[in-house]
């Protein structure tokens, strides 16, 4: 990787880390001050929407090869998250106060305040081993919570409002299906797509942490038995 690309990736990931740290702090302060999960979207919904929109750059990073990630999993994760927060939650005020939205935002924020600092420090070769381990281990708990307890229930609860308000009716008018039908299809496919991404992340974990273990073994002094 060239020096310029490394500096750019460090700046991008550091900016995302700062943004998600602010979002996490806002979530915690809102819950602690109100003793309620209702204000999650009001506190940081717009910020998270902006952060998710800007994360489209990660698709381009993969596409042009400045990071080793595969394009399709990155695109799937980015598309799913951005669609959830920008196309559904931001458009339906009745859904914004659901506990599922708070659960989603909290799991995303916790994941990203680990992931982005690890990426940033890794580009300048200053990432501690414990942070790499945490990056490739925290998702085991956070990813199912965010997707299965947060995103899916929130989308399901949004269905009656999507149908009642005919959301994006004009955009889907010339298509043989409505936006409501599209979301129903997404919910049916979601567990299978989620599982595919989840398994891919386990492969990444094995690859990254396995290499780290092999490097440690290689650095150990060899004891010669005579």
CA atoms of 60 and 71, how far apart (whole Å)? 8
Query: Domain for residue 140, yes or no?
Result: yes
Domain count across the chain: 1
Residues of the chain short of pLDDT 70, as ranges, are 1, 211-226
Residue 210: give the domain boundaries: 3-219
Contact between 61 and 123 under an 8 Å Cβ cutoff? The reply is no
What burial class does residue 182 get, using C-beta atoms within 10 Å of its C-beta: 0-12 exposed, 13-18 middle, 19+ buried? middle
Q: How far is CA 98 from CA 1, 32, 70, in A?
A: 44, 17, 34
Query: Domain for residue 190, yes or no?
Result: yes
Give me 149's structure tokens.
Answer: 């307890």
Catalytic one among 143, 179, 180, 190? 143
What is the reported pLDDT for 213? 54
Annotation says 143 is catalytic: yes
What is the reported pLDDT for 69? 87
Query: Domain for residue 61, yes or no?
Result: yes
- CB atoms < 10 A from the CB of 56, how many? 14
Annotation says 8 is catalytic: no
What is the reported pLDDT for 219? 46
Query: Domain for residue 151, yes or no?
Result: yes
Catalytic one among 151, 179, 180, 190? 151
Statement: the pTM of the whole predicted model exceeds 0.95: no
Query: Domain for residue 226, yes or no?
Result: no
């Amino acid at each position: 990787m060239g020096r310029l690309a490394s500096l750019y990736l460090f700046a991008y990931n550091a900016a995302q880390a700062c943004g998600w740290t602010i979002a996490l702090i806002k979530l915690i302060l809102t819950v602690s001050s109100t003793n309620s999960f209702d204000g999650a979207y009001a506190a940081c919904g717009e910020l998270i929407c902006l952060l998710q929109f800007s994360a489209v750059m990660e698709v381009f990073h993969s596409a042009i090869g400045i990071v080793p990630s595969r394009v399709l999993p990155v695109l799937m994760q980015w598309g799913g998250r951005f669609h959830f927060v920008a196309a559904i939650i931001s458009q339906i005020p009745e859904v914004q106060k659901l506990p599922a939205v708070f659960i989603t935002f909290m799991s995303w924020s916790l994941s990203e305040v680990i992931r982005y600092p690890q990426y940033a420090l890794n580009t300048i070769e200053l990432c501690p081993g414990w942070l790499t381990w945490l990056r490739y281990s925290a998702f085991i708990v956070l990813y199912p919570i965010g997707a299965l307890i947060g995103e899916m229930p929130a989308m399901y609860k949004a269905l009656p409002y999507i149908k009642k308000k005919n959301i994006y009716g004009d955009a889907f008018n010339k298509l043989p299906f409505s936006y409501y039908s599209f979301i129903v299809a997404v919910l049916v496919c979601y567990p299978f797509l989620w599982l595919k991404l989840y398994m891919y992340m386990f492969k990444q974990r094995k690859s990254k942490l396995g290499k780290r273990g092999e490097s440690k073994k290689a650095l150990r002094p060899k004891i010669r038995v005579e």
